[in-house]
Structure 1
Amino acid sequence: MSKDMNLTAQVIYEKEFHVDLKGYAPGEVDEFLDQVIEDYQNYDEKIEELGSALTRYEAKIKELQQQVFALQTENQNLQEQKDQDFVNANTDQVDILKRIARLEKAVFNQN
């Protein structure tokens, strides 16, 4: 919902009104002020839209941060489990090698 702004700071600063016998032309001043009012209403709408978007984005960031934390925790747990499995596998291999050595000793010593 992008609306073009009628006025810029420079346009407002440089605006000159024609002077009638009684002062500035009321119609011209009213028209200019109507544009100022319209722009301020548009600014208010835009601020509200951006505020809503910011709230949504902050909620999404919080959700994603929670997901990242959960994944980091899960990753750490899996890493610890992998390390433990590696230690257990090495222990099992050492036990198997010892058994094989005993069996070989028993088999070769019988001859």
Structure 2
Amino acid sequence: MAKDTNLTAQEIYDKEFHVDLKGYAPGEVDEFLDMVIEDYQGFEEKMQELGTALARYEDRIKELQQQVFALQTENQNLTEKVNADFVNANSDQVDLLKRIARLEQAVFGKDQPQPQQ
């Protein structure tokens, strides 16, 4: 347990009050209970702080997860676009080469080798 508290659970458990003629000494009991109350108030404040921080962190996690999802979707769309552009560019190059081969054949004659299709 952190040392910012007055008592440990074992100290509370082991505490023995002195008995006077009327019972326990009221001042001693009051002093002890004041320390217990102070500790509990400290724990309550700390729990509230941690609860607030936890809520903030959970909200931030949700925001970041949404950003990750958006970026993954954008990445997938860009990858698909690049792949489609690459396939189209290759098809265009093959078509160009075939057209050039046909033009060469028409210009230079039929004795040129035929392009393979």
TM normalised by structure 2 equals 0.86
Q: Does 1:106 align with 2:106?
A: yes
Structure 1 CA distance for aligned equivalents of residues 12 and 21 of structure 2: 24
**Deviation digits for residues 72-95 of structure 1, max 9, x if unmatched?**
110110011011101111111111
Q: State the 4+ residue runs in structure 1 displaced beyond 4 angstroms.
A: none
Q: Does 1:72 align with 2:72?
A: yes
**5+ unaligned residues in a row in structure 2: which ranges?**
112-117
| Aligned-pair identity (%) | 77
Structure 1 CA distance for aligned equivalents of residues 70 and 32 of structure 2: 57
**Aligned residue identity for 1:91:** S
Structure 2 CA distance for aligned equivalents of residues 35 and 9 of structure 1: 12
Per the alignment, residue 115 of structure 2 pairs with none
Per the alignment, residue 43 of structure 2 pairs with 43
Q: Are the aligned partners of 1:3 and 1:42 in contact in 2 as well (CA < 8 Å)? A: no
Greater helix fraction, Structure 1 or Structure 2: 1
Q: Are the aligned partners of 1:18 and 1:25 in contact in 2 as well (CA < 8 Å)? A: yes
Structure 2 CA distance for aligned equivalents of residues 75 and 93 of structure 1: 27
Higher RCO (C-alpha under 8 Å, 6+ residues apart): 1
Per the alignment, residue 25 of structure 2 pairs with 25
Tell me the CA shift for residue 109 of structure 1. 1.0
TM normalised by structure 1 equals 0.91
Count how many residue pairs are aligned between Structure 1 and Structure 2: 110
Question: RMSD over aligned Cα, in angstroms?
Answer: 1.8
**5+ unaligned residues in a row in structure 1: which ranges?**
none
